[in-house]
Amino acid sequence: MRRMALALCCLFGALLVPAMAQDWYRLSSAEGAFTASFPAQPKYETVPIRNGEFTLHQWIYDTPEVAYLVSYIDYHRGHVANNGLQFVLNNLTKGLHTNRRPISEKHITHGGYATRDVVVHDNASGLIIHQRHTLVGDRAYVWNYTGSTGTENGPNVQRFLNSLVIKR
């Protein structure tokens, strides 16, 4: 009888885990040409950059403990070709390092595109930022997680970071 009860618990647990895993919100942006998964529906906002020369499009889901963000910005036509892919990726990484302590930096491929996977400690807030950024043409995609130290590589963070699909 105990074995039967244990087997039923295991079966119920196995059925429950996939159902719980499907609770995330799937964001799809036709204009941004991407999809990504968030723990819940994010808020969308635009941020003018350089007095409106550029527009940062970003989706943010945040709570008092964590934040998940996906954003993109379109540079001027030819920006990446004229400056070089690695140069532009390096500058995105440098921007993330400003007033932050680098923890790790990896050169990876995400969806077939050269990507940086960077973890930094934000000195002002004491939080960890785990960010990926890539370039597709003259569009930069940036997606990151912010939370307490020790959470930057958790399963939900990896699920989020791995969820971005660029449709170009």
DSSP helix/strand/coil, 166? strand
Under the banding of pLDDT at 50, 70 and 90, the label for residue 168 is confident
Question: Do residues 73 and 54 lie in contact, with contact meaning Cβ atoms separated by under 8 Å?
Answer: yes
State which amino acid sits at residue 64.
P
The Cα–Cα gap between 50 and 26 comes to: 31
Query: What's the DSSP call for residue 76?
Result: P
Where does 24-166 sit in CATH, by number? 3.40.1000.10
The Cα–Cα gap between 8 and 27 comes to: 35
Which range has the worst mean pLDDT, 11-15, 32-36, 86-90, 152-156? 11-15
Q: Please state the domain extents for the chain.
A: 24-166
The Cα–Cα gap between 22 and 42 comes to: 16
**Residue 19 vs residues 15, 61, 68: alpha-carbon distances, Å:** 7, 21, 22
pLDDT digits (tens, 9 = 90+) for 116-164: 999 999 999 999 999 999 999 999 999 999 999 999 999 999 999 999 9
Which residue reads 């819940």 in tokens?
Answer: 40
